[in-house]
Amino acid sequence: MSRILEKIYHHAKMTPEHIALRGYSRNHGSTSITYSDLVRRIERIAAQLQNLGGHCIGLRAENSVGWALIDLAAMRAEIPIVPIPTFFSNKQVEHIISESSVDLLIGEWQEMFELEDQVSQIEALPVYRLYAAGTTSRLPNTIKITFTSGSTGTPKGVCLSEENLFRVSSSLISALNVDVKRHLVLLPLSTLLENITGIYVPLMLGVTSFIFQGEHVGLTGSSQFDPQAFTKALATYQPNSLVLTPALLMALIQVVKANPIFAESLRFVAVGGARVAPEIMAAAHALGIPAYEGYGLSECASVVALNTPNKVKHGSCGAPLEHIEIKVADDGELLVKGNQALGYLGHPFDQEWLETGDLGQVDEQGFVHILGRKKNQIITSYGRNISPEWIESQAQVFVPGLKLLVVGEAQTSLSAIVEPFDNIVEHIHELNATLPDYACIKRLIITNNLGTCSHWYTENGRPKRDVIEIWANQLLLGEEIDSSHQLIELK
């Protein structure tokens, strides 16, 4: 049996009536499951999965208690599972199914495919059989395959072992050392970070994880946010821990500014997914929000570095977890050793140090600082190397929530593409006053289309930098100017 499950089964013996999972159930609408019942249901579902004879499960569903049960049962049955985000496109999902050789589909599939071969139902989720063609590219000992959307939009499958998942989960528990009794799941469980922090870590600790559909807690898909639902969830469940994106942290800051009581139950708020300006982290702490930035990679089973209450430096993404080593290559790229995944589908990892693709620094105290993606780096015509993520995150200090994209490849200076915003010129001047001269924004491209240019973004909202740079260059050359765009030169 996996060591993650051994921990859960231990709690079922020691505290059988303690609530393990509480939240949305497709069967009952709302449910609470004790640790003793959790173990019984894991065993029952694992037997169902084994009887179905599948070799790889594709799970596509909104967050629910059933999602967690199926994930744990697949681990118990030792059947690899592929969590698939509901916001991935049909083309991406077809690629995932083919690459992983999935032969059992569980969940919300009818809207994507015309499936008639329903063979069972688990936790009120239909189960369909597929007949995978060709040979599998899954690596030996794979228990979970997580797909990253990538900057091109073509997902890449990372094969993870139970050892990978246990190591990162146990290291997080060791690093936190915080009294947490209630974790509220906000991000999709198909996201590896929340899969680990919303299921494995709480259950290994013997505490309660609250799992509801995204719309119930304020987050739908990858980026649709409802502040009222978010606030109501905080008031109702009074969580001790959350995992947030930078955008959700900004929302939490506004909620707590309006009513400080919402910070009182919080003990640890992890923030990841993109760089956060140190001023924003400091503002969160000033409001009593215990927010701590981290950094992770799917290729290392998620978290590799994290700030904690005992070791924190705003502006960094923390110190490496106990099972991780980090160093910086000559060209500034971060290299990571420890807990490497088995590899990509069909391509096992054999290198000692994993190339992360991220530019960064490690300071004298051992804190890791992320500067941006290596492939996103802008090189101006004066030969200055600039990470756009640095400036974009710093801009949130002056224009919170504003969509802003920095461009300037091979140009004499940088430009920012922004949506219309009151006093935007003054705000950008304030931003520029905090930046070195070579990183200052010298022109604004104001467009009404920033939020609707879907071809500028991947399915999970990451900008396609090369596409945006081409568009900006055409505009600056006078090829794209129309009434929906305004160009402002800054002095």
Residue-level pLDDT at 342: 98
The confidence score (pLDDT) of residue 90 equals: 83
Asked whether the beta carbons of 60 and 29 are under 8 A apart, the reply is: no
Domain residue spans in the chain?
A: 1-373, 377-489
With the CA atoms of 147, 150, 155 and 158 taken in that order, what torsion angle do they form, in degrees rounded to the nearest 10?
A: -40
Q: Please name which of 236, 247, 144 lies closest in space to residue 191, comparing C-alpha atoms.
A: 144
Residues 280, 281, 283, 287, CA torsion sign: positive
Whole-angstrom distance, CA of residue 233 vs CA of residue 479: 48
Q: How many CB atoms lie within 10 A of CB 55?
A: 13
In this prediction, residue 132 carries a pLDDT of 67
DSSP 235: H
pLDDT in tens, 337-367: 999 999 999 999 999 999 999 999 999 999 9
What are the phi and psi torsion angles at 427 (to 5°)? Answer: -65, -40
Report d(CA 185, CA 213) in Å as an integer. 9
| Residue 326, φ and ψ in degrees, nearest 5 | -135, 135
Of 279, 222, 209, 217, residue with least CA distance to 250: 279
CB within 8 A of 154, min separation 6: which ones?
Answer: 92, 95
What amino acid occupies position 26?
Answer: R
Residue 470 CB neighbour total at 10 angstroms = 13
Pairing of strands 325-328, 319-320: unpaired
Q: Are 102 and 56 in contact (CB under 8 A)?
A: yes
pLDDT score recorded for residue 255: 94
Within 10 angstroms of residue 433's Cβ, the number of other Cβ atoms is: 9
Query: Residue 1, exposed/middle/buried by CB under 10 A (0-12, 13-18, 19+)?
Result: exposed
Neighbour count for residue 353 (Cβ, 10 Å): 15
Q: For residue 256, give every residue at least 6 positions away whose Cβ sits within 8 Å of its Cβ, in sequence order, or none.
A: 262, 263, 287, 288, 289
Half-sphere exposure of 442 (CA within 13 A, CB side): 11
**Cα 77 from Cα 89, distance rounded (Å):** 29
Question: Of 164, 160, 168, 158, whose CA–CA distance to 142 is shortest?
Answer: 160
Q: Tell me which residue of 187, 233, 188, 183 sits closest to 208, measured CA to CA.
A: 183
pLDDT beneath 50, residues of the chain: 151
Q: At 278, is the secondary structure helix, strand, or coil?
A: helix
Q: And the tokens for 173?
A: 């528990």
What are the structure tokens assigned to 174, written together?
């060791």
Superfamily of structural domain 1-373: ANL, N-terminal domain (3.40.50.12780)
How far is it, in rounded angstroms, from Cα 109 to Cα 130? 12
Per the CB < 8 A criterion, the answer to whether 51 and 59 are in contact is: no
Total-model pTM: 0.87
Nearest to 69 by CA among 105, 14, 119, 106: 106
Residue 240 is predicted with a pLDDT of 98
Q: Do the Cβ atoms of 221 and 172 come closer than 8 Å?
A: no
CATH number of the structural domain 377-489: 3.30.300.30
Q: What is the CA radius of gyration of the chain?
A: 23
CA distances from 110 to 61, 188, 361, 446, 459 (A): 11, 20, 47, 41, 20
Task: Give the count of beta carbons closer than 10 Å to the beta carbon of residue 116.
Answer: 7
Give the amino acid at 108.
Answer: E
Check: CB of residue 308 under 8 Å from CB of residue 291: no
